[in-house]
Amino acid sequence: MGEALVQLVNALQPTWPLQYILMASVPYNISGGTQAMLMIAFAYMADRSKPHRRTVRMGLLDAAYYSGSPIGNAIAGPLLDYGGYSVAYSFVIALYVIAIVYVYIRLHTTSPQLDQTGTSQSCATSCDVTNQIYLTVQSVLQPRQHRAIIIILIAAMLCDSIPVWVMVMIVPLAMVKAQHTHKDGWLGVIGGVSRTLSNVCYYLVTSPHLSWLMWLGAVVASFKNLAPVAIRSLLSQLAGPQETGQIFAVMAAMETLVSLIAAPLYSSVYNVTIDARSSTFYLISLGFNSVLTLLLL
């Protein structure tokens, strides 16, 4: 909501320099941004859902989250035409307020309450940011029965690409999960194979008469989002109830760092190969998705 507030102030002050728009990134980054909010939601869902319903619920949560983009694009046009950016950002802030009130009233933590004798000590520990970072990373690396699997799953998640299409996630998830013989690990493998084959289709498009491969690739990629859903579900099952949020926090931080590296990498490859073969950058995705599939196997 802080980002929208800053943007609203900028919209109401048209004489301010253009550089002031960058101030909106300050509250967004301090709060952890989209990744932090999404991982908190997944951690809460993992905590409140029964094991046999967790995967489907995480898939629906993922779909609901990403559905905001097409819905927002559809609503933004009329709002901008009616009242400009000030009305659009005011509408966004109103939605944030509704969400905050709903979370405060309806959602409750399931963590055990601290006893009175350890309150001051726990508060002092929780206020130490450095200690919290250490404990969060330690929750992933500490010796445990499934430590190697947890690290592999996080690595697999880093090979996953962020953009998704909401409608092609709900239907395949429901279809495949309906078959009780399929475990979450195999759901992830199906998603990884789907991603890999779709990248092959996109890479092979070299002329207009091969444009049908783009449509084929979109169909093949219909199951691609089973991978991140399965990975999050597996992580929530392998981690202890008190460590799920910490492990998701580490994964969110690493995903953010990977995004910072991936953007210039893809741009560099595209700029170098645009004259020879512009689809070469799909080989990068092909490589990452192949690694994703192998890790899940």
Domain ranges of the chain: 129-297
Going by pLDDT thresholds of 50, 70 and 90, the confidence category of residue 172 is very low
- Reported as a single tens digit per residue, the pLDDT across 257-291 is 776 777 777 788 888 888 888 778 788 877 777 77
- Reported as a single tens digit per residue, the pLDDT across 106-159 is 876 555 444 444 444 444 444 455 665 666 666 666 666 666 766 776 666 666
Report pLDDT for 98.
92
Tell me the C-alpha to C-alpha distance, in Å, between residue 90 and each of 11, 12, 76, 97, 236: 10, 11, 12, 11, 36
- Reported as a single tens digit per residue, the pLDDT across 195-248 is 888 888 888 888 888 888 888 888 888 777 777 777 777 777 776 666 766 777
Per-residue pLDDT for 91 more than 70? yes
Mean pLDDT of the chain: 72
Q: Which CATH code is given to the segment(s) 129-297? A: 1.20.1250
